[in-house]
Every structure is written in structure tokens, then in C-alpha cells.
Amino acid sequence: MGITAYAKKFGGRGVGFVLNVVTLPKNDKRYINWRKSLKARKNLGWSRGLTKATSKSIDKISQTFKKRHIDNFLSWRQSEEFRDRYKPPVPLVRNGDMAFLIGLILGDGHVNKFDRTEGLRITWGTDKPELWRYAAKIMEGVFNKKATVAKVKNANCMIVSLYQKDIYMKRKVPIASICQHQPINYSSAIGING
């Protein structure tokens, strides 16, 4: 007996098509269970966790996009700029604020290098509120990004921190703790001749 004959004899309901969850009403138990199962699933995309450095396939995709001048993050960047979350990097300005910031980093600061970003942290005692407030303002001006100010629990200490890609390359700030600095000509980083 074919589908047409079956439909004539018993009716056409549920014959000849596969049930699609999307067409179910939103209050149907099968639809609700399907939505819950989606949240429990993991992202099983083939490129999950891979980078240009770890995968030849991702590197090839990146090189092809670069060759063809395709900017696959353009729409994301424009939407984030619209929402004021993404700010394009500001060109390096060599002025007194930059010199002041480098001095603070050398005295009380630390620059950490992570896989995809760098972190700048400067610590002070809570007895100098004007200093850490002023430093946070200077950091925002130099890096075009708001610095995070936090008090350390059970200590009279304030931490001003900022995370940004290529802090060292853009601002000539050394990557090291205050006791491990390499000798660098800071006058050239700031723009002082001599």
C-alpha cells in the first residue's frame, strides 16, 4: 500500500512528511524540550579553540582573507563602535602624560603578557587617592580605554589595571615586574631628544 492509498483509507494526517520541531507550537512539550537540549549542547565546530598559530587551516583562511582584502570583522566592529564597546587604537602621542605613566609603571607597575593581550597593573596605598585617580585618568587618555580601579581585600592597597593588545609595542612599555626591568632608552620612547 502506497502513501496515497494509505492517506485515502486512514486520512492524511502525519503521512508523507517528517515532523519538524520548528513548526511545533511554542507551548508544545516537545518544542520546550528541544530548546532546553540546544542550551545543553556544546559548540562542536571544527575550528573551535584553534588559532592561526596552532592550525594551518585557520592560517590559510586568514591569508586568503588578507589577500582578497576581506574584513570579516567589519560588521562586528561597526556594531560594537555603535554600542561604544570597541574603540579603535589611538596613535602614540609622546607627551608629558606618557612620560608620567612610564615613570609610574617603572616605580609601582607591572606589565604582563598573555596569549592574546597584555595587562598593565599599577598598585598604590589607599593613603594616596589623588594619585591613583589621576593615574586612572592618564591611562584612559593614553590608551583610549577606561582603566579598572579596585581595592584589595584586607589590605590598604588600590590596583589600577588595564588590558589591551600590544601595550609594549604601541607604548614602548617594558614587559616585566618592577624589579626585572631591562635597560631601555626611555627618552626615545617618550620622544625626548638627548
- Whether 35 is covered by a domain: the verdict is yes
pLDDT at 110: 83
Total domains in the fold of the chain: 2
Q: Hunting for cell 549542547 — which residue is that?
A: 41
pLDDT at 188: 52
Q: Which residues pair with 12 in a beta bridge?
A: none
**Where would I find the H helices in 41-185?**
56-67, 74-82, 96-108, 129-143, 167-171
Which of 96, 93, 98, 148 is CA-nearest to residue 119?
148
- Whether 147 is covered by a domain: the verdict is yes
Give the domain range for residue 128. Answer: 96-190
pLDDT at 176: 57
What's the CATH number where 147 sits?
3.10.28.10
pLDDT at 60: 92
Q: Identify the DSSP state of 12.
A: S
Q: Identify the DSSP state of 8.
A: H
- Rounded CA gap, 108 and 121, in Å? 9
pTM of structure: 0.48
pLDDT at 56: 92
N-terminal to C-terminal alpha carbon distance within the chain: 97
Residues 113 and 183 both lie in one domain: yes
- Whether 176 is covered by a domain: the verdict is yes
Query: What is the tens place of the pLDDT at every residue in 8-43?
Result: 776 666 555 556 777 788 898 888 888 888 887 776
Stretches where the chain sits below pLDDT 50 are 178-181, 186, 190-194
pLDDT at 192: 47
